[in-house]
Amino acid sequence: MAERLEAVVLLGMNPWQHREINDTVRFLARSAPGLDRVYLNPPAGLRVRPTAAELAAGCSWQEEEREGLTVLTRPLGFLPVALGLRAAADRLAAGWLDRRLAQRWGRDWRERTLVYVPSWCYTQTALIGSLRPRYLFFHLLDDTLGFPEIAGDPRVQQQNLRFLEAMLAACTVAAAVSPELAERYQQRFGRPIALLRNGVEAGFFAAARPAAELAALPAPRLLYTGSINSWVDLELLDGLAQARPDASLVLIGHLFADSVDRRQWQQLLSRPNVRWLGSRSYRELPAYLAGAEVLLLPRTGAEHSRASDPLKLYEYLASGRPVVSTALPALADFSNLVGLGGSPREFIAQVEAALRPHPELAQRQQAAVAAHSWEARWQELARLLENAAAISLTLRP
Over residues 282-297, the pLDDT tens digits come to 999 999 999 999 999 9
Q: Average pLDDT for residues 19-35, to the nearest whole number?
A: 91
d(CA 295, CA 223): 5
**pLDDT value at residue 61:** 86
β pairing state of 248-252 and 221-225 = parallel
Please tell me the total count of domains within the chain. 2
**Computed over its alpha carbons, how large is the radius of gyration of the chain?**
22
* 46: pLDDT strictly greater than 60: no
Q: Which pLDDT tens digit goes with each residue over 299-346?
A: 999 999 999 999 999 999 999 999 999 999 999 989 999 999 978 899
Q: Are residues 91 and 225 in the same domain?
A: no
For residue 306, the domain's CATH number is 3.40.50.2000
Claim to verify: residue 57 and residue 67 sit in the same structural domain = yes
Residues 6+ apart with CB under 8 A from 166: 125, 128, 129
Residue 278 shares a structural domain with residue 291: yes
Question: Both 389 and 350 in a single domain?
Answer: no
Question: Mind listing the pLDDT tens digit for each residue in 226-277?
Answer: 999 999 999 999 999 999 999 999 999 999 988 899 999 999 999 999 999 9
Kind and range of the H or E run holding 221: strand 221-225
Beta-carbon-side half-sphere exposure of residue 96 (alpha carbons within 13 Å):
15
Residue 291 shares a structural domain with residue 162: no
Residue with the larger pLDDT of the pair 352 and 342: 352
Q: How far is CA 48 from the centre of its chain?
A: 20
Separation in Å, CA 313 to CA 89, 151, 214, 273, 318? 38, 26, 20, 24, 9
214 and 298 part of one domain? yes
User: Nearest Cα to 142, choosing from 108, 180, 186?
Assistant: 180
Residues 66 and 211 in one domain: no
**Chain Cα centroid distance, residue 230:** 15
Can you tell me whether residue 347 is helix, strand or coil?
helix
Q: Report the distance separating Cα 180 and Cα 199, nearest Å.
A: 17
SS3 percent helix, strand, coil of the chain, rounded to 5, is: 45, 20, 35
Same domain, 18 and 81: yes
Q: How far apart (Å, rounded) are the C-alpha atoms in residues 54 and 242?
A: 46
Q: Based on the domain organization, do 101 and 243 belong to the same domain?
A: no
DSSP bridge pairs for 360:
none
Kindly report, residue by residue over 357-376, the tens digit of the pLDDT. 988 999 999 999 999 999 99
Q: How far apart are CA 317 and CA 365, in angstroms?
A: 5
Q: Residue 106: pLDDT above 50?
A: yes
Confidence class for position 397, pLDDT limits 50, 70, 90: low
* Contact by Cβ (8 Å): 334, 317: yes
Section 55-72 average pLDDT: 84
Q: Are residues 225 and 171 in the same domain?
A: no
- Say if residue 127's pLDDT is above 80: yes
What is the span of the domain harbouring residue 322? 202-371
Same domain, 348 and 385: no
Buried b (16+ CB within 10 A) or exposed e, 20-40: eebbbbbbbbbbbeebbbbbb
Q: How far is CA 354 from the centre of its chain?
A: 27
**Weakest-pLDDT range from 19-23, 126-130, 197-201:** 19-23
Between 212 and 60, the more confident residue is 212
Please tell me the distance from the alpha carbon of residue 242 to that of residue 272, in angstroms, as a whole number: 10
State pLDDT tens for residues 182-235.
999 999 999 999 999 999 998 899 878 999 999 999 999 999 999 999 999 999
**123 lies in the same domain as 24:** yes
Enumerate the β-bridge partners of residue 294. 222
- 86 pLDDT above the threshold of 70: yes
pLDDT of residue 381: 97
